[in-house]
Structures are given as C-alpha cells and as structure tokens.
C-alpha cells in the first residue's frame, strides 16, 4: 500500500473510529497503528523536553527548594510542577552485601531492608499441571 498523506490518515482514523475495529481491514489497521505509534513517539519526545523546561522554571520560582508551583498557559491550560525533596538512592548494580560488610552493625542505621516476592514466570503453568 502506498504511503498515505496526513489528511488521508486523519480521514481513515475518523472512519475507523465509527466502525468496529475487529472488522476493519488488517492492512489499514497496521498502517494507522504505525503512523500513530510514530506520532506518539514524537509527541512523547516533545513533551519530555517541555517538562524539562517547566521543571527548570518551577525550580527557579521555588528557589530550588522542594514544593509545588502552578504555571499558567496563555489561553488554555495550566500545570502544577512539583519539585521533590532530594532522595538518596543506590546506584544500579550496587551490592548491598558489600555495604553490609563495610558498615557492619551500622548498616541498619543507613538502610531499610525490604523483601519482595514475585511469582515465577512459569507459576501459572505449575499450578495448572
């Protein structure tokens, strides 16, 4: 199928919105899905940059302290940006056992230990067999 123009895709989207997608031709669904996925990716990239700029402005208004600020749009829209309190995190790949050996009994002063249980990927299979 030849590449469609934006207007043709818009028309196709409007038509697909009015019918049961289960009955729509597969090639049209694939094409519209591909176009929408590309558009969503572009929109996400643009929003990420906008959010970054708004966070900087909010941080400036809050004098780089934790809190929230509401920023107004020109005609429509407003957003609230929250600047969180700084938090310490372990770098990915950090071995807590090494930290426990280094800190000894003081480890519990600095760290909270949590245990998480997740079902194995084949758990449903094991239950049904």
Average pLDDT over residues 115-122: 90
- pLDDT band (50, 70, 90) for residue 38: confident
Contacts of 36 (CB under 8 A, 6+ apart): 13
d(CA 91, CA 51): 24
Please report which helix (H) or strand (E) contains residue 64, including its range.
Answer: none
pLDDT in the model for residue 1:
42
Q: What letter would DSSP give residue 71?
A: E
Chain-centre distance for alpha carbon 43 = 13
Residue 58 burial by CB count (10 A; 0-12/13-18/19+): exposed, middle or buried?
buried
d(CA 95, CA 16): 52
- In tens, the pLDDT along 53-89 reads 999 999 999 999 999 999 999 888 999 999 999 888 8
Cα–Cα distances in angstroms (integers) from residue 46 to residues 10, 43, 72, 84, 89, in the given order: 21, 5, 19, 23, 28
> pTM to 2 decimals?
0.57
CB 71 within 8 Å of CB 53: no
């Amino acid at each position: 199928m030849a590449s469609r123009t934006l207007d043709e895709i818009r028309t196709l989207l409007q038509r697909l919105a009015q019918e049961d997608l289960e009955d729509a031709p597969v090639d049209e669904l694939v094409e519209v899905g591909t176009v929408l996925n590309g558009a969503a990716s572009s929109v996400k990239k643009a929003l990420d940059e906008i959010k970054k700029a708004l966070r900087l402005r909010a941080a400036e208004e809050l004098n780089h302290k934790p809190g929230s600020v509401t920023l107004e749009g020109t005609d429509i829209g407003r957003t609230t940006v929250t600047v969180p309190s700084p938090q310490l995190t372990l770098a990915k790949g950090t071995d807590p056992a090494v930290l426990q050996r280094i800190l000894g009994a003081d480890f519990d002063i600095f760290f909270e230990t949590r245990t998480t249980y997740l079902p194995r990927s084949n758990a449903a299979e094991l239950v049904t067999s």
